[in-house]
Amino acid sequence: MARSWIGPCCASLLLSTAWALAAPSPVPAGPSPAASASASNAAPSVAAASGRPAAQPQASALPPAAPPPAPPASAAAPLGSPAAQSAAAARPFLGPQCVVGHHPGVDDGSAVTATRVICGELRRAGIPARDPDDDRGATEIYRLDVERLGRAGLVRLTREAPAGTVVATQQVVVNRIDEILVIAPRIVAAVLYGRPMEDTAEVDNLAGNETRKYEKKHGEYRWDIGLASISAPGHGAYMGAGFITGIAYETPAFALGAWVHWSKAESGDDKTEMTALSIGGRYFFTRSSVSPFVGTGLAMSSLSLEARAADNGPASNVDNSGMGTYGEVGVEMFRLHSARLSLGLRFDFPFFTLKGHRYSFVTLPGATHPTTNSTEESKYLIPMLLHLTVGF
C-alpha cells in the first residue's frame, strides 16, 4: 500500500522542479498572459499526477500598466513660456541687433522709443536690425546712448561688429530728445557710411548746436564829438580851430570807427585848411580806466595852403585832394564809465602833393604898381591834428 503512492509523488515532485527551472522570472506588473496560461495548464497535470484536485487560478491584484502615449512630434511650446524662451536662447540670432544703451536722466520709455527710431532707419538703409526687445543674441550691435546735459541731450550711436568691438561711433547734441526724429537719418548715415554730419545738413533737418545762437564778445557803439586843431609844421600855420565827430565800435582791446573832421589855421598871412573823412582803428594797451592807445587808418582828405611873405615878399597858393593814411597816439580816460574822454595827436600822410603857383612881386623903376610874376609850385604837406573828443 505504501509503495503504491510513492511513485506518483516522486513523479509530481520532479515535474514541479523542472517547471520552476524553466519558467521566466516574474515581472512587478504581474504575470504575462502566456505565463498564466502555462501555469493553468500545468496545475491540473500536477494535481492529476498527485491525485489531488486542481487549485483554481487567482486574479492578479494590479492590472497590467499601459505605457504613456508619446506627445505628437508637431506640438510646440506656447509663446512666452519658459520652454519657448529656452528654445529661443538655444538658437542665437546671427544678424544685427539694436540695443538700448546708457540713458541717465532719460526715462526708459523714451530711451526705448529713440532706439526703435534708429532701428527703423537702419532697416531703411538695408540693415536687417532687430528691435531692442528681441532678446536673442547677435554678432553685430547698434547701441544708442541718450544722456541729458542740462536742458540739452547727448545722443551717441555706436556700431559694434562683433559685439564688444567698436568700429564706428557718432555723437550729436540735441536741444530736445524728440529731435532724434529729425537727425536719425543723418546719424545712421554717419555710422554706416562715414558721412560727416555737416555734409548731410539741409534746411529742414538741423538740430542741436547747428541751430544755436552763437555767443559774442562784448562791445559797444560810441558816438564821438569834439574839437580839432590843425597845424602845418614848417609852413607857418599853427593851432587852428575846428571840429571832429564820428562813430566807433569799441571793445576792451580795440575800437573801429569812422570820423569826419574840419579844421583851419591862420597865422598872419599863412593859412592852412583841411577836411577829411577817415576810417580806421585803435588799439588799447590796458583794460583799466585810463589806457594809452595807437591808431591808424585811411583818409580821404582835401588840403590847402596859402602863404604870403611880409613886405610884398613871395607868396604861394597850393591845394589838392586825394587818399592818404594817418597815424595817431593818445590816451582814453574814464573807460569804466558810460562817457569817455579821448585826447589824441594825429599825423596825416597824403598820397599826393599840393600844387599851385608861387607869386613874386617886383616894382620896376618908374612904375607905380608892382609887377606880379607867377611860377608853378608843388609842396608836400604833413598836417598835424590835435583832437579832444567826448564819447557816449
Distance CA 9, CA 326 (A): 157
pLDDT in the model for residue 94 = 64
Contact 259, 224 (CB under 8 A): yes
- Give me the number of domains the chain comprises: 2
Q: Has residue 118 got a pLDDT over 60?
A: yes
pLDDT given for residue 90 in this prediction? 52
Q: Are residues 229 and 205 in the same domain?
A: no
For residues 195-215, give the mean pLDDT: 87
What confidence score (pLDDT) does residue 312 get? 60
Cβ-in-10-Å burial (0-12, 13-18, 19+) of 25 comes to exposed
pLDDT value of residue 162: 86
Angle, helices 33-50 vs 2-22, to 10°: value is 170
Rg (CA), the chain: 58
| Helix segments in the chain, DSSP class H | 2-22, 33-50, 82-89, 108-124, 180-193
User: What is the structure's pLDDT at 57?
Assistant: 45
- Whether residue 280 lies inside any domain: the answer is yes
Is residue 39 a part of any domain in this protein? no
Report the CATH number at residue 138. 3.40.50.10070
Q: Are residues 105 and 192 in the same domain?
A: yes
Domain boundary among 161, 191, 211: 211
List of residues 6+ apart from 3 with CB closer than 8 A: none
The answer, yes or no, to whether residue 14 has pLDDT greater than 80, is no
Mean pLDDT of the 162-173 span: 92
Whether 115 and 177 map to the same domain: the answer is: yes
Does 375 map to a domain? yes
Q: What 8-state DSSP symbol labels residue 237?
A: B
Question: Is residue 46 in a domain?
Answer: no
Query: Which residue has better confidence, 155 or 212?
Result: 155
What is the CATH classification number for the domain harbouring 238?
2.40.160.20
User: Are 355 and 337 part of one and the same domain?
Assistant: yes
For residues 321 and 128, give the distance between their C-alpha atoms in angstroms, rounded to a whole number: 77
Please report, as a single letter, which amino acid is at residue 217.
K
Contact by Cβ (8 Å): 299, 263: no
> Whole-angstrom Cα distance, residue 34 to residue 14?
22
What pLDDT does 64 receive?
Answer: 53
Choose the final residue of a domain: 178, 211, 244. 211
Tell me, yes or no, whether 14 lies in a domain. Answer: no
In a domain, 1, yes or no: no
Distance CA 254, CA 222 (A): 13
Q: Are the CB atoms for 309 and 269 separated by under 8 Å?
A: yes
CA distance 173 to 195: 17
With cut-offs at 50, 70 and 90, classify the pLDDT of residue 68: low
pLDDT at residue 326 greater than cutoff 80: yes
* pLDDT for residue 175: 92
Inter-CA distances, 110 with 149, 153, 186, 354, Å? 16, 12, 20, 79
* Those residues with Cβ within 8 angstroms of residue 337's Cβ, 6 or more apart along the chain or in another chain: 289
Residue 20 lies in a domain: no
Predicted pLDDT of residue 319:
95
Domain boundary among 153, 187, 211: 211
Helix 108-124 and helix 180-193, axial crossing angle in degrees, nearest 10 = 50
Residues whose CB is less than 8 angstroms from the CB of residue 68 and which lie 6 or more positions away in sequence, other chains included: none
Same-domain status, 376 and 250? yes
pLDDT beyond 70 at 140: yes
- Output the average pLDDT for the chain: 80
Query: Quick one: cell of 99?
Result: 540695443
Higher pLDDT: 121 or 364? It is 121
Whole-number Å distance between alpha carbons of 296 and 286: 18
Let me know whether 375 and 232 are in one domain. Answer: yes
Tell whether 294 and 176 lie within a shared domain. Answer: no
- The pLDDT tens digits of the residues spanning 328-359 come to 999 999 999 999 999 999 999 999 999 998 88
Q: What is the pLDDT of residue 69?
A: 52
When comparing pLDDT for 76 and 219, which is higher?
Answer: 219
The secondary structure of residue 236, as a DSSP letter, is T
| Residue 154 domain-assigned (yes or no) | yes
Average pLDDT, stretch 132-141?
80
Q: Are residues 387 and 243 in the same domain?
A: yes
For 367-382, write each residue's pLDDT tens digit: 677 777 788 999 999 9
Q: How confident is the model at residue 239 (pLDDT cuts 50, 70, 90)?
A: confident
What's the mean pLDDT in 93-114?
90
This model's pTM is above 0.75: no
Identify the residue with better confidence: 364 or 156.
Answer: 156
Q: Do 117 and 176 sit in the same domain of this protein? A: yes
Q: State the chain's maximal CA–CA distance in angstroms.
A: 222
Our CA dihedral for 86, 88, 89, 93, rounded to 10 degrees, sits at 180
Of all residues in the chain, what percent carry a pLDDT higher than 70? 73
* pLDDT score of 12: 53
Query: Are 192 and 278 in a shared domain?
Result: no
* 41 vs 222, more confident: 222
Identify the domain containing residue 134 by its residue range.
96-211
Q: How far apart are CA 161 and CA 139, in angstroms?
A: 6
Residues 115 and 206 in one domain: yes
Q: Percent of the chain beyond pLDDT 90?
A: 54
pLDDT tens by residue, 22-63 = 444 444 444 444 434 443 444 344 343 344 444 444 444 445
**Do 228 and 245 form a contact (C-beta atoms < 8 A)?**
no
- Residue 75 carries which side chain, given as an amino acid letter? A
172 and 228, same domain (yes or no): no
